[in-house]
């Protein structure tokens, strides 16, 4: 964000913050970046961004294998440290289980005739168990050879876990059942969640199953005796991940529940018909629950309502500890310090929950979904991803260096760059910064090269060329001796936009005899023509009045009071820097080159003056805008605009009687500068009556009229010009 204050160091900046009415665009600006969202708009590499805006080096993040499948769903490790990982694709005749012995190359461990593996487990004999879709069977794999171990006879197997006795628990959908399978492969229903999906599952330290469900968003604890208890009901529909650490449970849930509290079965995209019994090897397709489709191909994985993470303490107290309107929670794990890690899509961000108040965007992985975690040995965490299906290791150490290329600063005008100030807590290591500038809004080409800034406690001067746009690049490096990371909390960049001249865009002359600022004295009704309103409302400068004579009031409209002889000049003006402006109002006769100042240093964008002190005639107004209120005298810029000519006319029309007799009075009304507006007459002091000219159209400065009158009648005549000047005459008809 761009702020007019924000430096935490300068008294001048503090003064500007205290008196914002004095701040203008040509004062020194400070572009401050100190929030997570601000840093995240840049491009971070090997950096973590805390929710309070602190930047640190990210954990070491290494790609261990890039498979050929679109996504991986599960990872497990045997007692020898061999990693097994698997996933799949929505098309194809078989799916693969991969194996990686650390320090060696990845290999295909086994291949099963199915579409995907969604869960893996390893028993005490290091045998691998893989749950496949769409036929929801479990295969036991020994020495790379899969054999059918258990058929759950359902659509989905979401999770598997071994207890200490070697029993395998299986969480399923679309029936929401938990199965218990003995080491010999015989299994039976263990618990009915009464939900559509037992969506996630983990065994706690006491042998209880912790199960997350869909669509009610339940988090259940199921004892070894198959006794269930709802620990918490989430605000969301689907509990996609559960994890336990030292007796504390974390659960991630996604998706809005149906309104009104009604829970309906998940809307699942159309799937191919289920295969006949014994046809597990036949290729076919099947779909996952609509609230969390596989993150592959055109399926976005987006969820209406976002995600939340809950913590359930040992005593059963549960509360929300993290949430996002956009990220979808796929997995929860723990780092070496016991901090929860939240794997999300569809931006591939791994969040670390540091405390109840602070979280960290720990890593932004190249794939778009982080689908599972595994806590390995020696503080290493393993992660699988979707779009594409890769295997990564996280930690235990930090990256050696990390960079952040900021978003592009738009100064809106050509600007001179000042100093950069860094607010950091140097636990170790170093922080350096570079800048580059340009006059196009993308830095790919035709910008200056990166230029290093030497920053001290008093800031560092930017050496990049003056321009409209600026970008900075931060580099954090860990301390060679201790391996500690520096910590940075804010970047402040001072700049001064070049002053540009203000512009007067348009001048309007309001209807004659109206004054924008009403006078304190009462209006003189004796000289106000009948039918003239006491006030009129004009639209904003540049907008037209309606053809009916009324006014459509809009933003910028102004009400003017009737005041005989006054003229009001109105104008539009702007300043590209946003400076405060003052104005000089001048007037000259059309044929006179001499300008006469009516008002100077005016802050309003209008001026009313009494025309009685000027002779009748054609005049031109000139408005000069100055940005003096916001600039030093040497930097002041001005510009002027002249109006179209307008008429000052305070002289009434002349009435000339042409004939008087034959029961009629004929006369001519003539005005030197203005059209005749209307004529009225009265007989013997009676009511004033409107009078049309002989040609029936009031259309010029000279008009002829005829009044029918009997001999001896007193005929009173009153004529107005369009500036409300009135003349009258009384004659006796002959």
Of the two residues 456 and 312, the one the predictor is more confident about is: 312
The CATH number covering residue 638 comes to 2.60.40.10
Please check whether residue 59 lies inside any domain of the structure: no
Domain assignment of residue 234, yes or no: no
- Report yes or no on 12 lying in a domain: yes
pLDDT class of 521 with cuts at 50, 70, 90? very low
Q: Which of 26-30, 131-135, 327-331, 366-370 has the highest mean pLDDT?
A: 327-331
Please report the beta strands in 248-348, taking only residues with DSSP state E, as ranges in sequence order: 248-256, 307-312, 318-324, 328-334, 340-345
Whether residue 507 sits in one domain with residue 479: no
Which long-range contacts does 699-702 make (Cβ < 8 Å, 24+ apart)? 699/675, 700/675, 700/676, 701/670, 701/671, 701/672, 701/673, 701/674, 701/675, 701/676, 702/668, 702/669, 702/670, 702/671, 702/676
CB-based contact 117:86 (threshold 8 Å): yes
Res 437: pLDDT: 97
701 vs 531, 591, 676, 698, CA distance in Å? 21, 22, 5, 9
* Alpha carbon distance 569, 516 (integer Å): 9
CB contact set of 253 (below 8 Å; sequence gap of 6+) = 212, 217, 234, 235, 236, 237, 238, 239, 240, 307, 308, 309, 310, 329
Backbone angles phi and psi of 261, in degrees to 5: 80, 5
3 state SS of 17: helix
Tell me whether residue 85 is in a domain: no
pLDDT band of residue 401 (cuts 50, 70, 90) is very high
Tell me: do 569 and 704 sit in the same domain. no
Kindly give, in sequence order, each residue whose CB lies less than 8 Å from that of residue 678, ignoring residues fewer than 6 positions away: 690, 698, 719, 720
Residue 732 has pLDDT above 60, yes or no: yes
Residues 389 and 411 reside in one and the same domain: no
Query: For 650-670, what is the mean pLDDT?
Result: 95
Cα of 483 vs its chain's centroid, Å: 38
Mean pLDDT of 575-580: 88
640 plus 663 within the same structural domain: no
* pLDDT value, residue 427: 78
Report whether 527 contacts 723 (CB < 8 A). no
Average pLDDT (119-125) is 96
Pairing of strands 535-538, 503-509: unpaired
Residue 18, phi then psi, degrees to nearest 5: -80, -25
Q: Residue 27: is its pLDDT beyond 70?
A: yes
pLDDT band at 257 (very low <50, low <70, confident <90, very high): confident
CB count, 10 Å around CB of 589?
A: 16
Confidence of residue 272 (pLDDT cuts 50, 70, 90): very low
Domain final position from 648, 664, 681: 648
The answer to whether residues 541 and 642 belong to one domain is: yes
Burial class (CB in 10 A: 0-12, 13-18, 19+), 450: middle
Q: For position 292, what pLDDT does the model report? A: 44
Q: Is 550 a residue whose pLDDT tops 90?
A: no
Q: CB neighbours (10 Å) of residue 103? A: 6
Shared-domain flag, residues 666 and 622: no
Backbone angles phi and psi of 634, in degrees to 5: -70, -20
pLDDT score at 89:
82
Q: Is the predicted pLDDT of residue 524 greater than 60, yes or no?
A: no
Least confident stretch, 87-96, 508-517, 545-554: 545-554
- Residue 398 pLDDT greater than 60, yes or no: yes
Using the 3D structure, point to which of 395, 416, 436 is the last residue of a domain. 395
Mean pLDDT across 147-171: 96
Averaged pLDDT, 639-649: 96
Instruction: Name the band, by pLDDT with cuts 50, 70 and 90, for residue 733.
Output: very high
Is residue 75 situated within a structural domain? no
Query: What is the residue-averaged pLDDT of the chain?
Result: 86
Query: Do residues 526 and 638 share a domain?
Result: yes
pLDDT band at 303 (very low <50, low <70, confident <90, very high): low
pLDDT of residue 90: 73
Is residue 330, in this structure, part of any structural domain at all? Answer: yes
| Residue 428 zone, left/alpha/beta (φ > 0; ψ -120 to 50; rest) | left
- The label of the residue with tokens 């006054």 reads 566
Residue 279 is predicted with a pLDDT of 33
Indicate whether 514 and 534 sit together in one domain. yes
Question: According to the model, what pLDDT value does residue 533 have?
Answer: 66
Identify the band that residue 544 occupies on the pLDDT scale cut at 50, 70 and 90: low
Q: Which comes out higher in pLDDT, residue 269 or 431?
A: 431
Q: Which residues pair with 97 in a beta bridge?
A: 86, 110
d(C-alpha 112, C-alpha 489), whole Å: 51
Residue 267 is predicted with a pLDDT of 29
Lowest mean per-residue pLDDT among 454-463, 534-543, 602-611, 713-722: 534-543
State residue 351's pLDDT score: 97
Looking up tokens 């996609």, which residue turns up? 240
**Is 286 a member of any domain?**
no
pLDDT of 298 above 90: no
Of 371, 307, 362, nearest to 339 (Cα)?
A: 362
Residues 572 and 660 both lie in one domain: no
Residues 516 and 644 in one domain: yes
Over residues 164-186, the mean pLDDT reads 96
| Rounded Cα distance, 239 and 465, in Å | 53
Give the pLDDT confidence score for residue 229 in this predicted structure: 97
pLDDT for 532 equals: 58
* Confidence class for position 538, pLDDT limits 50, 70, 90: confident
- The per-residue pLDDT for 481 is 86
Q: In this model, does residue 268 exceed pLDDT 90?
A: no
Count Cα atoms within 13 angstroms, Cβ side, for 14.
Answer: 4
Per-residue confidence (pLDDT) for residue 597, from 0 to 100: 97
Number of folded domains in the chain? 4
Model confidence over 49-105: pLDDT tens digits?
Answer: 999 999 999 999 999 999 989 999 999 999 999 999 999 987 767 899 999 998 899
Q: Is residue 681 part of a domain?
A: yes
Give 240-249 pLDDT, tens digit per residue.
999 999 999 9
pLDDT in tens, 344-353: 998 999 999 9
Percent of the chain with pLDDT over 90: 74
Query: Which stretch of DSSP H or E encloses residue 294?
Result: none
In the predicted model, what is the mean pLDDT of residues 722-729? 94
Q: Residue 443: which CATH number?
A: 2.60.120
540 and 594, same domain (yes or no)? yes
pLDDT above 70 covers a percentage of the chain that reads 85
Domain boundary among 395, 411, 433: 395
Domain hosting residue 624, numbered range: 503-648
Using omega within 30 degrees of 0 as the cis cutoff, is the peptide bond preceding 388 cis?
yes
Tell whether 452 and 553 lie within a shared domain. Answer: no
pLDDT higher than 60, residue 281: no
């Amino acid at each position: 964000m761009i702020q007019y204050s924000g430096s935490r160091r300068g008294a001048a900046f503090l003064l500007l913050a205290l008196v914002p009415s004095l701040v203008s665009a040509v004062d020194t600006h400070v572009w401050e970046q100190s929030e997570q969202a601000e840093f995240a708009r840049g491009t971070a590499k090997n950096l973590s961004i805390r929710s309070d805006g602190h930047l640190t080096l990210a954990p070491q993040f290494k790609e261990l294998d890039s498979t050929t499948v679109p996504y991986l769903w599960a990872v497990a490790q045997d007692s020898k440290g061999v990693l097994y990982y698997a996933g799949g694709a929505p098309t194809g005749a078989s799916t693969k289980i991969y194996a990686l012995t650390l320090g060696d190359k990845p290999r295909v461990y086994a291949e099963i005739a199915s579409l995907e593996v969604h869960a893996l487990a390893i028993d005490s004999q290091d045998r691998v168990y893989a749950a496949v879709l769409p036929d929801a069977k479990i295969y036991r794999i020994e020495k790379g050879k899969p054999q059918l171990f258990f058929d759950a006879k359902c659509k989905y197997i979401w999770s598997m876990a071994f207890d200490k006795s070697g029993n395998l628990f299986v969480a399923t959908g679309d029936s929401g059942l938990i199965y218990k399978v003995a080491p010999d492969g015989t299994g039976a229903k263990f618990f009915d969640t009464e939900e559509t999906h037992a969506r996630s599952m983990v065994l706690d330290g006491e042998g209880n199953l912790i199960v997350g469900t869909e669509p009610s968003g339940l988090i259940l604890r199921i004892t070894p005796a198959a006794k269930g208890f709802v620990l918490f009901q989430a605000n969301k529909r689907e509990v996609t991940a559960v994890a336990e650490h030292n007796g504390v449970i974390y659960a991630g849930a996604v998706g809005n529940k149906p309104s009104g509290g009604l829970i309906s079965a998940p809307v699942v995209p159309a799937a191919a018909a289920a295969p006949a019994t014994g046809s597990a090897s036949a290729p076919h397709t099947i779909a996952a629950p609509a609230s969390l489709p596989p993150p592959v191909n055109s399926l976005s994985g987006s969820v209406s309502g976002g995600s939340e993470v809950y913590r359930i303490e040992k005593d059963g107290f549960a509360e929300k500890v993290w949430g996002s309107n956009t990220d979808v929670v796929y997995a929860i794990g723990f780092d070496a310090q016991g901090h929860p890690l939240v794997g999300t899509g569809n931006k591939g961000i791994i969040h670390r929950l540091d405390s109840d108040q602070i979280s960290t965007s720990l890593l932004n992985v190249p794939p778009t979904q982080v689908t599972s975690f595994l806590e390995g040995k020696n503080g290493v965490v393993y992660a699988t991803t979707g779009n594409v299906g890769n295997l990564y290791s996280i930690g235990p150490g930090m990256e050696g260096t990390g960079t952040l290329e900021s978003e592009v600063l738009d100064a809106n005008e050509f600007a001179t760059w000042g100093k950069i100030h860094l607010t950091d807590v140097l636990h170790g290591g170093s922080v350096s910064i570079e800048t580059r500038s340009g006059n196009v809004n993308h830095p790919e080409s035709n910008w200056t090269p990166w230029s290093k800034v030497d920053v001290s406690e008093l800031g560092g001067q930017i050496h990049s060329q003056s321009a409209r746009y600026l970008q900075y690049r931060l580099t954090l490096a860990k301390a060679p001796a201790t391996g500690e990371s520096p910590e940075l909390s804010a970047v402040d960049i001072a700049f001064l936009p070049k002053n540009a001249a203000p512009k007067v865009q348009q001048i309007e002359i309001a209807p004659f005899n109206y004054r924008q600022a009403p006078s304190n004295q009462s209006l003189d009704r004796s000289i106000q023509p009948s039918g003239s309103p006491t006030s009129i409302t004009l639209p904003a400068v540049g907008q037209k009045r309606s053809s009916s004579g009324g006014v459509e009031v809009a933003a910028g409209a102004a009400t003017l009071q009737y005041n005989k002889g006054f003229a009001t000049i109105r104008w539009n003006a702007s300043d590209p820097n946003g400076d405060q402006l003052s104005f000089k109002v001048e007037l000259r006769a059309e044929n006179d080159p001499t300008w006469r100042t009516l008002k100077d240093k005016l802050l309003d964008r209008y001026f009313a003056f009494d025309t009685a002190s000027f002779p009748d005639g054609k005049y031109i107004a000139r408005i000069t805008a100055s940005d003096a209120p916001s600039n030093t005298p040497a930097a002041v810029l001005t510009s002027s605009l002249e109006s179209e000519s307008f008429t000052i006319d305070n002289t009434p029309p002349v009435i000339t009687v042409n004939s008087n007799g034959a029961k009629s009075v004929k006369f001519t009304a003539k005005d030197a500068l203005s059209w005749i507006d209307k004529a009225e007459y009265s007989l013997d002091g009676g009511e004033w009556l409107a009078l049309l000219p002989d040609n029936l159209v009031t259309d010029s400065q000279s008009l002829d009229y005829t009044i029918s009158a009997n001999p001896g009648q007193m005929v009173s005549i009153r004529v107005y010009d369009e500036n409300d000047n009135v003349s009258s005459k009384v004659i006796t008809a002959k």
